[in-house]
Structure 1
Amino acid sequence: MFDSDHIALAVEWRRDLHRHPELGFQETRTSAMIAGLLSDWGWQVHRGLGGTGVVATMGQGGPSIGLRADIDALPIEEATGLDYASVHAGKMHACGHDGHTAMLLLAARHIAAEGVRNGTVRLIFQPAEENDGGARVMIEDGLFREFPCDTVYGIHNWPGLAPGRLAARDAEMMAAFAVFEIGLEGKGGHAAMPEQSDGVVAAAARIAAAAQELPARRLSPLDPGVVSVTQIHTGSAWNVCPDQATIRGTARWFSAAAGDILETRLTDLARGVAASQGCRATIDYQRRYPATINSAAEAGLARQVGRDMGLDVPDLPPSMASEDFAFMLNETPGAYIWLGAARDGENPGLHSAHFDFNDAILPVGAEFWVRLVQRALG
């Protein structure tokens, strides 16, 4: 479908984006590059939704389909040693959003050359997928009001799948996501006389251990959930019992009931354990992303397009990781798709400082987008 020159161009775009990563809502260079290319190819381009988002339209009337690519990087110091490694300290495309963007651009060029008949195609280049909810912000700014879509689709490269494989479940793909911070306060004192101070460290340790057991004891084994404590900050000296501690972590779930249980039980646990050690606990619990739930019809169409391309389409379990494409699926029927991207030999995972998008799958993802548009618009 794509000649070698076009694929080489897509690799250049991808590596240029990799070299110049930008964090959420700061993707000014990235969005300018995207908008410039799309305008040159004849797309109607709108900028500004979500601050740095880009939406491009081709065609009119008929069914409308949205194709989404995320464009932000992560606050990670790159350790790949590549000749196109990040030139910005502490910023890196460690999740493959540079590849997602290049795939959709390659497809956009082909779609523009062939023209759009019998409907409307929307390309959605979304900022701030990592933690900041750029999809939600674009929607609040009027994404689907100004650019209505009958269906919407997103692709994520998946290093756990070999190239040539594609997955799209009929229901749950990715879990809902919350972050929490538990603050503990009590009386500090000398480590030689612990009975004269409150058990801030003891409370922090017990809360951390018990919190991670909550899903196993409070949720049905048929209703998955995960609580992970990822930070404990306390103390400043060998011989001082501290008067404060902070515990941070994440919770993930699929069903609304499980999400409610985890929040309620974590709050009760923190306050109860703190009180038993003479401390006070405060908890800041923020639900960030809902669960990513595919529509069965749209997931089925994605799988059929994959089979038409000769891809292997396995039935895989969902992931407990999270994705803000969930906000778009809460507004419009659609599907989130994993595209196999594993490398031979060493195969660093997503969010690793050694990760690099597998350029070999650029034409595969772009062809999927083109074929999906053709099938969706008849």
Structure 2
Amino acid sequence: MSEHAPEIEDPDIDAPEVASILKSVSVRLAKDSPTRSFCTLHDTLDSRDELQDIRRHIHQHPELAFNEVHTAELVASKLENWGYTVTRGVGGTGVVASLRVGAGQRSVGIRADMDALPIHERSGLPYASVHDGKMHACGHDGHTAVLLGAARQLARTRQFDGTVHLIFQPAEEIGAGGGAERMLADGLFERFPCDAIFGLHNHPGAEAGTFMFRSGPFMAACDTVAITIRGKGGHAARPHQSIDPILVAGSLVMALQSIVARNVDPNETAVVTIGTLHAGHAPNVIPDSARMELSVRSFSADVRASMETRIKQLATSHAEGYGATADIEYVRGYPVLVNSEAETEFARQVAEELVGPERAIANFHRIAGSEDFAYFLQQRPGCFVRMGNGVNQPLLHNAGYDFNDDNLTVGAAYWTRLVERYLAG
């Protein structure tokens, strides 16, 4: 296939976002004199209908963490039909597909996540979830379809020299003990060696077909804390005979906000959010206990450790100051996601070649959300990429969210070109 851009009048180009990108890139590519052919945006356009059908089928039949049985089988059967060596059941319901071309010794891994969320869909789409309380509200249906599109293109062109491992991961959404950890414990990189690994997540609020990059810490560590304040229950009319846990909890809510404001370096980024607070059942009864749950985000190991220490100290001493006690459950979740510098610059260059420099954004801002792809990056160099899902699209984890199908062939072309460039012989 030619590196040069197609004529924009091509009748196959029916997606407005793809057509816009092709138009912006065509002049630049026409001036190039490439010595090697790599995948272009036009090369994957003929797979749009198939990928859209796959994506919408997965969207309509969402499966929660470690229950992605139907999704995994759909993925595995497609890959086997395209000539991949497929391994099922990696880390539970994970699928790994391998394809070796030529005699090259290098290998690369590309990962997509497959699980849905326990959210009742309210999108009103004709392909909305048929399973009450389950929904693809984070775009994992799109991530899976995008990687399948790349798999199809790589298998039919075989324009690389080495081995590619396509990793379809379960259970990204559940926090500690999720799919990445389970796949690694199942010997992922020992069984399927990767010199580098890459992953992608859609990003509502950014223009579709735009890619965003940042080396170093990119997405936050996420820890969950449960604090139970134990006081002494009693009659609402005689509070002096009780130790009111609600009073202690209310005061602690405010005190916890001082940690970021007064204990974290202003040059660092951290978040402490109290997401739940439950106590009592009647207005005339002081309860025995109150319970709150926190989400704690950070971008460095030092800040993460100091915040854990400070939260425990503050909760304990604060409760004691009122004559109560505090039971603290501190669960460390996903670590900081750290992109390696060389692989991030490589991934950015591939995007720039594919969609133009104006759509390949370097040094994108850090994201306080978390991602278990971080575990893979602790063991192999690589890059986690963000891809715009549309400026006016609903946010992630929203009951009205939907993956932007204009991204399907763009994402497939990106992964294809990245593999071809990485394994260029």
- TM-score, normalised via structure 2 length: 0.87
- Residue 329 (str. 1) matches residue 372 (str. 2): no
Could you say which residue in structure 2 is the equivalent of 1:33? 74
**Match of residue 151, structure 1, among 196, 202, 219:** 196
Q: Deviations over 1:335-359 (max 9, x none)?
A: 000011115xx42100001100000
Query: Is the Cα contact below 8 Å between 1:253 and 1:259 reproduced in 2?
Result: yes
Determine if contact 1:59/1:116 at 8 Å carries over to the other structure: no
Q: Does 1:362 align with 2:403?
A: no
Pairs within 5 Å for 1:200-211? 200-211=245-256
Which string of whole-angstrom CA distances, capped at 9 and with x for unpartnered residues, describes residues 170-209 of structure 1?
Answer: 2121011100100111110011111110020011111122
Q: Displacement, 1:309?
A: 1.1
Letter in 2 for 1:56: A
Match of 1:26, as an amino acid? N
Contact 2:146 2:411 in 1 (8 A): yes
Partner residue, 2:323: 278
Counterpart residue type for residue 112 of structure 1:
A
From the superposition, tell whether residues 57 and 246 of structure 1 become closer, same or farther in structure 2 (CA, over 3 Å). same
Instruction: Give CA deviations for 1:312-368 in whole Å, capped at 9, x if unaligned.
Output: 12232110110000000001000000011115xx42100001100000111111100
CA contact (8 A) 1:58 1:116 kept: no
| Identity fraction in percent | 47
Residue of structure 2 in register with 1:84 after alignment: 127
- Name the residue aligned to 1:104: 147
The residue type paired with residue 390 of structure 2 is A
The yes-or-no answer on 1:313 pairing with 2:360 is yes
SS of the residue corresponding to residue 48 of structure 1 reads: strand
1:74 aligns with 2:121: no
Q: Report the residue type matching 1:69 in the other structure.
A: A
Distance 2:133 2:91 in 1: 23
One-letter code aligned to 2:416: V
1:291 aligns with 2:339: no
Question: What SS does the aligned partner of 1:229 have?
Answer: strand
Per-residue CA deviations over 1:232-286 (Å, capped at 9, x if unaligned) read: 0100001111111111011011111101111011001111111112111010001
Which one of the candidate residues 89, 93, 102 is aligned to 1:52? 93
- Give the 3-state SS of the residue equivalent to 1:187 in structure 2: coil
Deviation, structure 1 residue 83: 0.8
**Equivalent in 329, 343, 351 of residue 397 of structure 2:** 351
Q: Write the distance in 2 (CA, Å) between the matches of 1:94 and 1:255.
A: 28
- Describe the SS at the equivalent of 2:315: helix
| Aligned partner of residue 57 in structure 1, secondary structure | strand
Q: Write out the 4+ residue segments of structure 1 that deviate beyond 2 Å after TM superposition.
A: 1-5
Q: Distance in 2 between matches of 1:73 and 1:170?
A: 28
CA offset at residue 131 of structure 1? 2.4
Q: Which residue of 1 aligns with 2:84?
A: 43
The residue matched to 1:342 in structure 2 has which SS?
Answer: coil
Q: Distance in 2 between matches of 1:181 and 1:210?
A: 16
Deviation at 1:49, TM superposition (A): 1.3
SS in 2 for 1:359: coil
Among 198, 220, 240, which residue is 1:195 paired with? 240
Question: Deviation per CA, 1:65-84, whole angstroms, max 9, x where unpaired?
Answer: 00000000011111101111
- The structural deviation recorded for 1:25 is 0.7
Tell whether the 8 Å contact from 1:199 to 1:278 is kept in structure 2 after alignment: no
SS in 1 for 2:355: coil
Q: Which residue of 2 aligns with 1:10?
A: 51
Asked if the contact 1:131–1:288 (Cα under 8 Å) also holds between the matched residues in 2, the reply is no
2:7 corresponds to which residue? Answer: none
Query: Where in structure 2 are the equivalents of 1:202-241 lying within 5 Å?
Result: 202-241=247-286
Residue number in structure 1 paired with 2:39: none
What CA distance in whole angstroms lies between the structure 2 residues aligned with 1:195 and 1:37? 69
3-state SS, counterpart of residue 148 of structure 1: coil
Mean Cα deviation higher: 3-12 or 69-78: 3-12
Q: Which amino acid aligns with 1:219?
A: V
Unaligned runs of 5+ in 1: none
Are 2:210 and 1:173 aligned?
Answer: no
| SS class of match (1:81) | coil
**Cα pair distance change 1:166/1:4, threshold 3 Å:** closer
When residues 3 and 303 of structure 1 are mapped into structure 2, their CA distance, relative to the original with a 3 A threshold, is closer
CA drift at 1:310: 2.4
TM-score, structure 1 normalization:
0.97
Shift of 1:3: 5.6
Mean alpha-carbon deviation: is it higher for 160-169 or for 354-363? Answer: 160-169
The aligned counterpart of 2:422 is 376
